[in-house]
Copies of this chain bind each other. A is one copy, B any other.
Amino acid sequence: VDSVALGAAAERNAQLTKPPQALGQLEGLAIWYAGWRGTAQPTITAPQVVIFAGNHGVAARGVSAFPPEVTVQMVANFNAGGAAVNQLARTFGAKLDVVALELERPTDDFTQTAAMTEADLCAALSAGWDAVDPDADLLVTGEMGIGNTTSAAAIAAALFGGGAEAWTGRGTGVDDAALRAKTEIVNEGLARHPQANGDGLEALRCFGGREVAAMAGAILRARHLRIPVILDGFICCAAASALEKAQPGALDHTVAGHLSAETAHRRLLDELGKIPLLSLDMRLGEGSGGTLAIGVLKGAVNCLSGMATFAEAGVSGS
């Protein structure tokens, strides 16, 4: 982060025509963005949303309310402009890219073996790395993959402990019996891959999926490009957690876009020390919550950069 720009933005913020702190969380948010972009008066003109899609071997175990073929069907829906995230990206002027990751070749069932080989993991991380537009000034990473809340629960449990019960939720909406079975499957996976405990990359490799690893690669690339990132829900945050475990501070260029209705998301945000911008009971994935939060960030940044100072406006201070 550019500490000169950060300081200049904070100084500018203090002079704007409003009582101190009257814009609440918007103020720190805009200053954070300014620091990463290296200017005290930034603008957001080129936000990018990237949706990664992958299929999960564990989906064959019936962990989702939807059949696995929905992944490829939803990719077609993204490309045709019919999904929620398409409408939200359009609403906030974001470019939407869709990256389908070998959908015909699901990851392996993590209760039997690692979801991915090391080569698979590298390919997925690279796909994420390559998907980031260097000219973007904001990134949201989203995902589509039937079965991927199961994958994310296993990753979170491996990285933060607490067992499957603490991290397994209803995803797209499984019933009580299916939730118990899903939890047991996560526990089976944790028992199968003890070497993943506390190890970000190994957790991604063992539990997958490709789209989860790709989100991690994209978030890391954004850090190198100084592109701020808005995190989406539980699965995105599980991917991000792998980076944070590998290198504490790796998520300083990110904010939490929203608190989702997936029950373990709050716990995951607490582990990451992130306060969500929105809390609207969304639980769709596909980057939808993060994309909705682009509006909040744009508003914050436009206030910092566009407002008059007390001196410019001839307004009396307190």
Contact = CB atoms under 8 A, between A and B. Distances in A.
Interface stretch (A88-96, A181-189, A199-207, A219-227): A88-96
A277 interface: yes
A288 interface: yes
A280 B77 contact: no
A19 B316 CA distance: 52
Interface of A is mostly: loop
Interface in A166-181: 172-173
Interface stretch (A61-69, A105-113, A124-132, A190-198): A61-69
Interface string A73-99: 110110011111011101110000000
Nearest to A313: B77
A60 interface: no
A173 B318 contact: yes
Interface in A23-64: 23-26
A316 B279 contact: no
Given A17-B77, A313-B82, A302 B22 contact: no
Contact of A279 (B65, B279, B307): B279
Contact of A277 (B20, B280, B288, B312): B280
B282 A23 contact: yes
Interface in A241-283: 261, 277-283
Contact of A23 (B84, B302, B317): B84
Nearest to A314: B73
A84 B16 CA distance: 9
Contact of A22 (B23, B282, B307): B282
Q: Which 10 A-B pairs have the closest CB atoms?
A: A82-B308, A295-B295, A24-B281, A22-B284, A19-B172, A24-B282, A87-B306, A87-B302, A65-B318, A73-B315
27 contacts: A17-B74, A17-B77, A17-B83, A19-B66, A19-B173, A21-B173, A22-B172, A23-B282, A23-B284, A23-B288, A24-B261, A24-B283, A26-B292, A70-B315, A73-B316, A76-B314, A77-B308, A77-B313, A80-B313, A82-B306, A82-B312, A90-B306, A91-B295, A91-B298, A91-B302, A278-B278, A278-B296
